Amino acid sequence: MTERILVNQLAARPDGPVVVSGWVETVRDQKKVQFIILRDETGAVQLVNPATRPDPEAEQDAAALALTDAISNLAHGTFLTVTGQLKHDERVKLGGIEIKIGALQIAAAALPETPIAADSSMDKRMDWRFLDLRQRRNNLIFRVSTTLEHAMRQYWVDRDYVELHTPKLMSSPSESNAELFALPYFEDKTAYLAQSPQHYKQMAQAAGFGKIFEIGDVFRADPSFTSRHATEFTSVDAEISWIDSHEDVAAMQEELLAAAIQAVKDKHGQEIAELFGVEVTVPTLPFPRIPLVEAHEIVKARGYEIPRTDGDLDPEGERQISAHVQETYGHQFVFITDYHPEIRPFYHMVDPATGLTKSYDLLFNGVEITTGAQREHRIEVLEQQALAKGLKLDGLAHYLDFFRYGMPPHGGFGMGLARVLMLLLGEASIREVTFLFRGPTRLAP
Amino acid sequence: MTERILVNQLAARPDGPVVVSGWVETVRDQKKVQFIILRDETGAVQLVNPATRPDPEAEQDAAALALTDAISNLAHGTFLTVTGQLKHDERVKLGGIEIKIGALQIAAAALPETPIAADSSMDKRMDWRFLDLRQRRNNLIFRVSTTLEHAMRQYWVDRDYVELHTPKLMSSPSESNAELFALPYFEDKTAYLAQSPQHYKQMAQAAGFGKIFEIGDVFRADPSFTSRHATEFTSVDAEISWIDSHEDVAAMQEELLAAAIQAVKDKHGQEIAELFGVEVTVPTLPFPRIPLVEAHEIVKARGYEIPRTDGDLDPEGERQISAHVQETYGHQFVFITDYHPEIRPFYHMVDPATGLTKSYDLLFNGVEITTGAQREHRIEVLEQQALAKGLKLDGLAHYLDFFRYGMPPHGGFGMGLARVLMLLLGEASIREVTFLFRGPTRLAP
């Protein structure tokens, strides 16, 4: 391995020889002195070279001439390794250190014209996502994501959850017949891409796994162009047995999120504040809960009339509720509970006392990030609920079989990873926080 | 949440009232006494009930009669919750404890006829995988998998790797045009399912991410029916910048595997020995390395003639080499190195000194689990190598663009999670260690 020193470790080292590797962020090619700002995944450092310009009248060092010439010709983005002398110098604005270049070895030179700039349109930036991701704030997004995910997994592993990888190729739709990608499979069969791991995380309950989680890809042939939708996204899912109601799921999810956001704040809080202007807030427990009917009253009292007639909230309604919760409880999260079965999937359990589902949506800073529920585990009731939605039991045959040989009461949630990241960092679109976004008109690079 | 006590925590509790939940593994319905073996995700416990049989001549307790009757009618697999009195009793073979049943609440009754038994054919067991997974050893497989994965992620997170979720929907093949699933996308486009995250983990190097990993699904329209192939599987991938050769990748991977297997041994070693008859061995570092040419000589000297003519090893050759390594070095792992470019993808770097690729395969107990390599990062060389393989640069346009604006030297590996689990547990097929296997004739449940 090249014995390079990461840029963020230079300040702690004494003056002397060092090797650094990274890419050229800028070159200042002055007549007498040349500066390179070199960036790696941990930071940026200034490199300096006293220029040796050709002078027919002087005796000159060929190597020094060549080095000066090489630096003059460096394109932004070129990856290189520099051997040089580290010097601490308070006058250097960038971290108070500088490296005097000894030798410079180009790994791969960049074309001289960079196709995008930091202020290019989002679509153009997505065309050249690998260059866009060189920005420090974009790099930070994925370090935050890594920390967030790892903290969630740690929470679950500490509590003996089993991590699953459920199949994405299925013989029948996992959620609904809408927004479904289909593909030819072997022997003239048709396969469908999983819209969620719903069937299989429930299957794990029938298998007696008790508590499971999965962080994996799901697919929706969704023609939307909103800031919150994608045709492929990372879904964070959990499912647990022996619950009394959706409240047990909500209690787990709020603890999970508090632990994960705490980990992000501890590791990246300062850098997030610097690069995103956002103070990471660890949510207090429990999160506020508001029944859907009450939510409607609150939104109405704030002067907003929800246009949809099915009883669900719309995006502006969600923003209004979150604003209310922020003003009233100083909280960024709120569980909306007690949805009518008409606006929920057939597999949500209905509370006989109210006729409403034992389910919730979780809003974070005005956007829905989760649906959670207790599932109906009694096969007779489940079949009735499916039929009441106009579904054909044939298409659900494999799923329904899971319930015929014993099933514990259970429930869980699914959460969009990109939505959580977007809202945590105050970004405007999930496109900004997805490594490579996929949408109806976006399948490359 | 139901205040159930997990079965593996009962032994440490004093005699007295307890609540347990799980499924019925067996019922022994004797005339005077009834026994239920109840299993949950942590173990099994014996429940006992002194039977009250109808006797027209005696005055009898209706509740006691009903309880006895309910137990007599319990089907295997039924999930239930039992409230009762825990009693420590050395005479009870199953853990020295017993619960006298007070009340019994059925969550969901199983149909009386279970469609499979532990000795059913693999195909039949896969039809009813959720029942098959109730077996203790099958449950353990996924707990081992959880520990293995978490330990790998911990290794990477401790070293500042970034976790990625690369897209599985692509506009062009990620590896080759063979074994490719294609599907209609929006606006008459065709999408391909990723065969590996190869393109994108390299893109992350161009993006300056430095070190990345991904554990995610990949897809191969592979018509094979071997014990090692699937049409969808979980791939463990890593990619790192600023390497000198594939040796830097191999050094990381062997450390990673040693750490992960150590974690499995620590947490599950005893149970694996009991249920799989396998002693988990933490591999010593470094793993043995054998150049491919030498491997051929070793196999030949052992009396096996490899039938394939392209110079690669075949499955029997791999077993022979692993047997040799086990006999010679007492090691379960071996890196086979120095493959000829003809049997490697175009993006492997060629060592000009030897004309061979800077790549390796890693064998574990006789089966290939990984290909690793330094990648060619110089665009001119990369294009030449692609053309030499007969590839059209058009189809690789997005991938090749990643190399035009600067790229560090880099390399990585891809590893099949199910293969590692299969070999670690001494199982005969990846089907046994995959939650839901997918193959040419297997798309459900």
Instruction: List, run by run, the mean pLDDT of 10-residue segments along chain B (445 residues).
Output: 88 97 97 98 97 93 96 97 97 96 97 92 97 96 98 98 98 87 96 97 98 98 93 98 98 98 98 98 98 97 94 96 98 98 97 98 98 98 96 94 98 98 98 98 96
Distance, in Å, from the CA atom of A257 to the CA atom of A276, rounded to the nearest integer, reads 20
In this structure, the answer to whether residues A326 and A421 fall within a common structural domain is: yes
b/e per residue A345-363 (b: at least 16 CB within 10 A): bbbbbbeeeeebbbbbbbb
Domain assignment present for residue B444? The answer is no
**Phi, psi torsion values for A225, nearest 5 degrees:** -120, 30
One-letter amino acid at A23 equals: W
| CB nearest to B208's CB, from A134, A164, A182 | A134
Residue B104, C-beta contacts closer than 8 angstroms, at least 6 positions apart: B67, B70, B71, B80, B81, B82, B83
Which ranges of B31-189 does DSSP label H, i.e. alpha helix? 62-72, 122-127, 129-132, 136-158
pLDDT of A92-123, one tens digit each?
Answer: 999 999 999 999 999 999 999 999 988 999 99
Considering the domain architecture, whether residues A78 and A131 belong to the same structural domain is answered as no
Same domain, A181 and A104: no
Q: Which helix (H) or strand (E) holds B424?
A: helix B417-425
Domain boundary among B73, B108, B143: B108
Per-residue pLDDT for A422 more than 90? yes
**CA–CA separation, B144 vs B160, rounded Å?**
24
Q: Does B83 touch chain A (CB under 8 A)?
A: no
Question: Is A2's pLDDT higher than 80?
Answer: no
Give the relative orientation of helices A136-158 and B136-158 as an angle to the nearest 10 degrees. Answer: 150
Is residue B255 located within the same domain as residue B144?
Answer: yes
**Is B439 within a domain?**
no
Which residue in the set A187, A379, A443 is minimally distant from B171, CB to CB?
A443
| Predicted pLDDT of residue A283 | 98
B429 lies in a domain? yes
User: Does residue A113 form part of some domain?
Assistant: no
User: Number of structural domains, chain B?
Assistant: 2
d(CA A174, CA A201): 11
pLDDT for residue A1: 62
Residue B422 sits in a domain whose CATH number is 3.30.930.10
A404 close to B (CB below 8 A)? yes
The pLDDT value given to residue A30: 97
Q: Quick check: B181 and A183 CB within 8 A?
A: yes
The answer to whether A347 and A201 are in contact (CB under 8 A) is: no
Distance CA B312, CA A258 (A): 52
Task: Quote the tokens at residue B89.
Answer: 């009793």
Q: With an 8 Å Cβ cutoff, is B429 touching chain A?
A: no
Domain membership of residue B100 as a residue range: 7-108
Name which of A164, A171, A217 is nearest B165 (Cβ-Cβ).
A217
Q: Write down the ipTM of this complex.
A: 0.97
A131, A136, A141, A146 alpha-carbon torsion, rounded to 10°: 100
Residue B151 included in any domain: yes
Q: Residues of A numbered 15-54 whose beta carbons fall under 8 angstroms of chain B's beta carbons: which are they?
A: 21-24, 39-42
Distance (Å) of CA B289 to CA B306, B325, B352:
20, 10, 20
Write out chain A residues lying below 8 Å of B157, CB-based.
146-147, 150
Query: Domain containing A60 — which CATH number?
Result: 2.40.50.140
Q: Which amino acid is at B37?
A: I
Q: Whose CA is closest to A420, among A373, A375, A370, A383?
A: A370
Does residue A440 lie in a domain region?
Answer: no
pLDDT of A390 higher than 90: yes
Coil, strand or helix at A232: strand
Handedness of CA A20, A21, A25, A26 (dihedral sign): positive
Strands A211-219 and A162-163: parallel
The encoded tokens of residue B160 equal 């500042």
Q: What is the mean pLDDT of residues A140-162?
A: 98
Tokens of residue A18, six digits: 């060092």
Calpha distance B215→B417 (Å, rounded) = 9
